[in-house]
Amino acid sequence: MSDRPTPETDDIARGNHVVPTEWAKQLERERDEARRKLNNLDVTAIHSCHNECQRPICVLRRERDEAREAATEQFIAGGKAIRERDEAREALAKILKNE
């Protein structure tokens, strides 16, 4: 475990505390490290990945986009099929009306 200072925990430890000081220090260090990593992220990289990127978030985004595209194609095909059905019904109604 790192011996880096943990000012918040050290301040609390001088008074009454509920959790073991070492555990609180570890949590404080982990939180600070997570914040540093988050601050160092290049947010533009999230939006400009290439299709070959294998980061889980990029894979999920590609799969989402593919599913949206497939759903859109199905929606369009469904609309076309409905129009064709309606046209066929109208044509059949005209034929039956003329008999």
Q: Which amino acid is at 14?
A: R
Q: Residues 6 or more apart from 28 whose CB is under 8 A from it?
A: 6, 8, 9
Task: Give tens-digit pLDDT for 42-65.
Answer: 555 555 666 778 888 888 888 999
Q: What pLDDT does 28 receive? A: 86
Q: Look at residue 28 and give its three-state secondary structure.
A: helix
Residue 93: is its pLDDT beyond 70? yes
- In Å, how far are 8, 10, 75, 89 from 62, measured between CA atoms? 42, 46, 20, 40
